[in-house]
């Protein structure tokens, strides 16, 4: 078995607010293999973005703080190296693209300036070569007249085009890992599909490992090899694409799938919704965090926090009743259908 490219162990990131300590990410561990495309799915506030920001060490003190954990990358713990060493990793080896392309580019510099800046920061090239690299990066993301458009300002691009620029910027230094935080959420559906196609092809061609953060299961289905589902700062289920979509084990995953429109089912299927709202990550319930919203909760769920465990022939799940629930979930899905 190959070594993981990136290995996260027991990561905890807390924020202090007026109301109390927010445990945004509370003890998660996962590995990312070279070239793997990993989906991280969850509702807003589940800690998926904070996970990404923690890996990049972009969580800003004093409000946010990485309390414990290690992020091992090429034998080094990214959380322990100096800021200067980390800067070489950021953008160069691990790149990140963000949700809102409309606001993620600096409005007062041309996209060329911003691309060239990144390239010259991480590669030993002169300005003219950097410009060529930048033009190539733009044409790789299928922006027409790439060389000319380097001199345009972000406001002269449409939303989809700006996200292409962001992708070009992220991939311009050939990183080993690309973290994409809700890259298509702010875009319309057609553009979404084009952008995801583009990312898939670019990542596959270059063998870039991708962590795709999204709340949209539909996006994950076509893109990822493996998926992990986050809820209230923890991972509740993990597995291959098939595991998650065809053999979900956690009631929360099941709920998420149920609330998704599917084109391959009969039209009169009623959409399921998970009752209640995600818990405030300040006053987390004891035991299983999903318990207050779970139809299958028992006394044990109220007392004991379920840990992630492997189920034979399936993925990993953090639920005490995964085996017993199996039938019921199937039945419930049937009942809902």
List contacts with other proteins (CB under 8 A). 17-19, 56, 58, 87-92, 95-96, 98, 100, 103-110, 113, 117-118, 121-122, 151-153, 155-156, 166, 169, 276, 292
Nearer to other proteins, 113 or 225 (CB): 113
Nearer to other proteins, 110 or 240 (CB): 110
User: What span, in angstroms and rounded, lies between the C-alpha atoms of 197 and 203?
Assistant: 10
Nearer to other proteins, 23 or 238 (CB): 23
Nearer to other proteins, 239 or 278 (CB): 278
Residue labelled with tokens 């080896």: 93
Q: Quote the tokens at residue 99.
A: 């949700």
Q: Shortest approach of other proteins to residue 96 CB, angstroms? A: 4
User: What span, in angstroms and rounded, lies between the C-alpha atoms of 286 and 304?
Assistant: 7
Largest CA-CA distance found in the chain, in angstroms, rounded: 67
Nearer to other proteins, 109 or 245 (CB): 109
Q: Shortest approach of other proteins to residue 315 CB, angstroms? A: 29
Q: Shortest approach of other proteins to residue 7 CB, angstroms? A: 21
Q: Shortest approach of other proteins to residue 6 CB, angstroms? A: 16
Sheet holding 177-181, edge to edge: 94-97, 177-181, 209-214, 37-41, 226-231, 234-240, 316-317, 309-310
Nearer to other proteins, 91 or 160 (CB): 91
Sheet holding 20-32, edge to edge: 20-32, 6-17, 64-73, 76-77
Q: Shortest approach of other proteins to residue 83 CB, angstroms? A: 8
Q: Judge contact between 316 and 237, C-beta under 8 A.
A: yes
- Per-residue buried b or exposed e for 206-236, using 16+ beta carbons within 10 Å of the residue's own CB: eebbbbbbbbbbbbbeebbebbbbbbbbbbb
Q: Shortest approach of other proteins to residue 277 CB, angstroms? A: 8
Nearer to other proteins, 176 or 243 (CB): 176
Q: Shortest approach of other proteins to residue 312 CB, angstroms? A: 34
Name which of 307, 313, 333 is nearest 237 in CA terms: 307
Nearer to other proteins, 91 or 306 (CB): 91
Q: Shortest approach of other proteins to residue 130 CB, angstroms? A: 13
For residue 161, what are the contacts with CB-CB under 8 A and spacing of at least 6?
143
Alpha helices, H only, 56-209: 83-89, 111-122, 127-140, 146-149, 159-171, 189-206
User: What span, in angstroms and rounded, lies between the C-alpha atoms of 241 and 220?
Assistant: 8
DSSP string, 18-64: TTEEEEEEEEEEEEE-TT-EEEEE--TTSSHHHHHHHHTT-PPTTTE
User: What span, in angstroms and rounded, lies between the C-alpha atoms of 90 and 96?
Assistant: 8
Q: Quote the tokens at residue 54.
A: 């923690």
Nearer to other proteins, 88 or 204 (CB): 88
Q: Shortest approach of other proteins to residue 183 CB, angstroms? A: 13
């Amino acid at each position: 078995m190959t070594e993981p490219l990136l290995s996260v162990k027991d990561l905890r990131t807390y924020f202090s607010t007026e109301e109390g300590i927010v445990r945004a990410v509370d003890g998660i561990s996962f590995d990312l293999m070279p070239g793997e495309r990993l989906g991280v799915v969850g509702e807003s506030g589940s800690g998926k973005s904070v996970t990404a920001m923690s890996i990049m060490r972009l969580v800003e003190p004093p409000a946010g703080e990485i309390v414990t954990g290690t992020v091992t990358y090429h034998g080094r713990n990214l959380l322990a190296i100096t800021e200067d060493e980390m800067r070489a990793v950021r953008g160069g080896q691990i790149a990140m693209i963000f949700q809102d392309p409309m606001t993620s580019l600096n409005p007062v510099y041309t996209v060329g300036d911003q691309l060239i800046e990144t390239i010259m920061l991480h590669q030993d090239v002169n300005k003219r070569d950097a410009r060529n690299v930048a033009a190539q990066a733009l044409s790789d993301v299928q922006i027409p007249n790439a060389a000319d458009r380097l001199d345009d300002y972000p406001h002269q691009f449409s939303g989809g085009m700006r996200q292409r620029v962001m992708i070009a910027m992220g991939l311009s230094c050939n990183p080993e890992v690309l973290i994409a935080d809700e890259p298509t959420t702010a875009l319309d559906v057609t553009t979404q599909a084009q952008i995801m196609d583009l990312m898939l092809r670019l990542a596959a061609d270059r063998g870039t490992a991708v962590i795709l953060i999204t709340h949209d299961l539909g996006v994950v289905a076509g893109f990822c090899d493996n998926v992990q589902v986050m809820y209230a700062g923890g991972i509740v289920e993990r597995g291959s694409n098939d595991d998650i979509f065809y053999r979900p084990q956690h009631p929360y995953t099941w709920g998420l799938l149920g609330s998704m429109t599917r084109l391959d089912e009969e039209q009169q299927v009623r959409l399921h919704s998970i009752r209640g709202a995600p818990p405030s990550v300040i006053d987390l319930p004891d035991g299983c965090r999903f318990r207050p919203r779970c139809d299958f909760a028992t006394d044990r769920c109220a007392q004991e926090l379920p840990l992630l465990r492997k189920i034979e022939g399936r993925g990993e799940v953090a639920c005490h009743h995964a085996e017993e629930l199996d039938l019921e979930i199937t039945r419930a899905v049937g009942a809902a259908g």
